[in-house]
Structure 1
Amino acid sequence: MARKRGTKYQADVVIDGVRKRPSFATLAEAEAYENAVAKGLPEIGATTFKKFHETHFAFIWGDNGAPQATQYGLDALDQFIPASKPISEINSAFIISVVSEMKKTGVSNATINRRLSVLSKLLKHAEKMEITRKPPMDFLKEAEGRERVLSRAEEAKMFQYFDHMGLTLSGAVVRFLLYTGCRLGEVFSLERERVSEGRVTFHYTVTKTSKTRLVPLIGPAKDAWDTVRKMSALDKPFSLLPRDTFRDHWNRFRGHMGLLEDDQFVPHMLRHTCASRLVSKGIPLPQVMMWMGHRNIQTTMRYSHLAPKDLDGAAKALMEDA
């Protein structure tokens, strides 16, 4: 049982047969540590913001198919939340102040919401460990269909740039992203055996939604795959290219286009472009949902404004066999 020792509070637990008596600044932290150990959760360690997310990252997001994206979100939060900030002091008022500071940097509401989602999950974990109570969190309104998409002219310049600069692997990645609509993490995790008979299987173990989907491998995406699998003998061919190297190449391309200030001109934009093109060509939303691997139809509905408004085709279908 936790007790006071001098100016500190000492917890008393047994882990793997070994008795431990770590000290904490407050009684609440000491008791939270004892509760966490009793529940079989990872040790708390320090309960300051940065130390907490570093200690518990693997436990919270280790099964995520794209943990790097989460890490980028935490890195961004580290710029606005002091490393020494106790988790227990992150309340609604503090979160509002953080959002205000993020807005001053010019990032989009969508980007802020992704960061808040990461923070929300972290605080929910802290609440389970009885360290704090997760405060209510209001997400910002995102404009419908505001996601940046790549124009056909920009696509041509993108392919030309990577080819001209001799960045073959990065050129293959952008082609694969654009013509499969997959996530960046899914590219680098794609196993050779998942591609066969003109289709690529994005397995549930690496997808964001824990669902497996089968997508046709066509055009530039097929060319990209053929290029990479010949260049690499690895089980995951795209992993021949370090992810950080790809991001560096992308940022160089972004600078070449004069779009360094466009915070939506990011690799994930290629996924939005794929979905937008499918919908604008009249592909039914349920099919687009299956192609993209969206968790629910509401996500796909963000692209509904791009669907053809001409209902003559629907009218013709009603009259068939009449």
Structure 2
Amino acid sequence: MAPRTLAHGMGTFFKECEHPQSRWSKCPHTYVIRFRNASGQQTEESGFATQDKAIDRLAEIYRAKRENPWGQGKAERNRKYGSMNFGAYAEEWKAGQRALAPASLRHLDSLLEHHLYPAFHSRRMATFDHKVVDAFVRTMERNGVGLATQANAFDKLKSILLDAHRLGLYPENPLDGVTPPQYDPKRAVIPSLAQLGGIRGAGDETFNLIAELMSGSGLRNGEALAVNINNIVADDVYRVTEQVNQTTKDYAPLKHRKEGDYRDVPLPARTRLSLLSYADTYGTIDGYLLRHPLDIAKPYPSYYLQNRWDRIKRAGDVEIPDGMTLYGLRHFFASNCLSHNIPITDVAEWMGHKSIDVTFKIYRHLMPGSIGHAAQVLDLGLAA
């Protein structure tokens, strides 16, 4: 029998029998109601003895939807994004990552292209759960993907799925219970003090200044290239505010930081004197000490620094530990701090690491006696 529709989209009620509507009040069959639920799907409920009870139920459902617009919005998002494939969702998510530096964006594109899209590009977003994610991690392990790449790919997948989880696509976090890849960085190759002295004196004055900043204050390569005399905020403090980006070859925000963020690092007297001496000898431009040798309007390029390092190694005039890279100068800073009992939390902050876990994994071997020392201290306390 033709249903009767209520106003304002509340739904309809009817009887599934041969009696005309004029006879419904006397007919023994129960009423059926039809409405759209919070997800927009057409739904029916039956068993209402009277017309009033059927209408009351429709009114109750209508009020609940009106009083819970978030629930309706969630349902609409589920319809829109749940059926969207991962590739389309990831591109939409990526468009919102406006704070990413060019080098970070290039790294993201590489992870998507080589790892995430081959595994998930056509998969519907609504079908992700912890089993799907865990299978992805195990597949990377089975295929021999490097641990650093595994960790980075998992991190990006996690960011995308958590974004979908916040939209309400999943009743539970799809990463709960998944063991992430365990990235264990290679042991840092660190020069001795004598080796460092030879390295610092092997290049020209520009290289020597950069070596001082990296080994004395823990600056990254690009941060040292952006050294600015105005960033000496105290005799013993240097404020790191920017870096020379390897991709754009221009000044950019610090790694893991937003525009305007900074970190303060120790400035040993030796490093400060080297900085001031260089400024007195060569002058500055807007406070910057290092400029492009062929165009002073541009920052000092990173490949010039790498070329100088390669020439020093090829010359063989100074002792350099096997496997040491230019980054070993920065490792020396961390080693110097930790060997003098400076807390690793402070070292992590000065190094600009995103997490103290990174600092611990790289430099844990520099603290071999920490557990034994702790046992001795605890024993003294227990004996007191």
**Alignment correspondent of 2:336:** 277
Query: Residues 308 and 53 (structure 1 numbering): CA distance in 2 closer, same or farther, change over 3 Å?
Result: same
Greater shift, 71-80 or 295-304, is seen at 295-304
User: In the alignment, what sits opposite 2:121?
Assistant: 85
Q: Does 1:138 align with 2:188?
A: no
- 8 Å CA contact retained: 1:175, 1:221: no
TM-score by length of 1: 0.55
- After TM superposition, the structure 1 = structure 2 runs for residues 1-322 of structure 1, keeping only pairs within 5 Å, are 31-32=80-81, 47-48=87-88, 51-52=91-92, 54-58=94-98, 62=99, 68-69=103-104, 71-72=106-107, 74-76=109-111, 78-82=113-117, 85-86=121-122, 88=125, 91-101=133-143, 103-104=144-145, 107=146, 109-110=147-148, 112-129=150-167, 134-136=174-176, 137-143=178-184, 146-152=186-192, 155=196, 158-159=199-200, 162-163=203-204, 168=206, 172-184=209-221, 186-187=223-224, 192-198=229-235, 199-202=237-240, 206=254, 208=256, 212-220=263-271, 223=274, 227=278, 230=282, 232-234=284-286, 237=289, 240-243=299-302, 245=303, 249=307, 252=310, 256=314, 268-285=327-344, 288-289=347-348, 291-292=350-351, 301-302=360-361, 303=363, 305-307=365-367, 309=369
Give the counterpart letter for 1:147 in structure 2.
R
* Cα pair distance change 1:47/1:147, threshold 3 Å: same
DSSP-derived class of the 1:213 partner: strand
Given that 1:182 and 1:271 are in contact with CA atoms closer than 8 Å, whether structure 2 keeps it comes out as yes
Distance in 1, Cα, partners of 2:305 & 2:163: 30
CA RMSD of aligned residues (A): 5.3
Change (3 A) 1:119 1:290: same
Which amino acid letter does the alignment assign opposite residue 117 of structure 1?
D
Structure 2, gaps ≥5 residues long: 1-38, 41-75, 243-252, 291-297, 317-322
The structure whose Rg is larger is: 2
3-state DSSP of counterpart to 1:201: strand
Counterparts of 1:257 and 1:110, CA distance in 2: 32
SS at match of 2:216: helix
Return closer, same or farther for 1:149/1:98 CA change in 2, 3 Å cut-off.
same
Question: What is the number of residues matched between the two proteins?
Answer: 261
> Structure 2 vs 1, CA of residues 159 and 280 (structure 1 numbering), >3 Å: closer, same or farther?
same
Q: CA deviation at 1:138?
A: 2.7
Sort the Cα spacing of 1:300 and 1:55 in 2 relative to 1 into closer, same or farther, 3 A: closer
CA distance 1:291–1:67, shift in 2 (3 Å):
same
Q: Which amino acid aligns with 2:121?
A: K
Distance 1:271 1:135, change over 3 A: same
| 1:225-257 deviation per Cα after TM superposition (whole angstroms, max 9, x unaligned) | 7547946514555571245x3686489569859
Which consecutive unaligned segments of at least 5 residues does structure 1 have? Answer: 4-26, 34-43, 259-263
Deviation at 1:116, TM superposition (A): 3.2
Q: Is the partner of 1:200 in helix, strand or coil?
A: strand
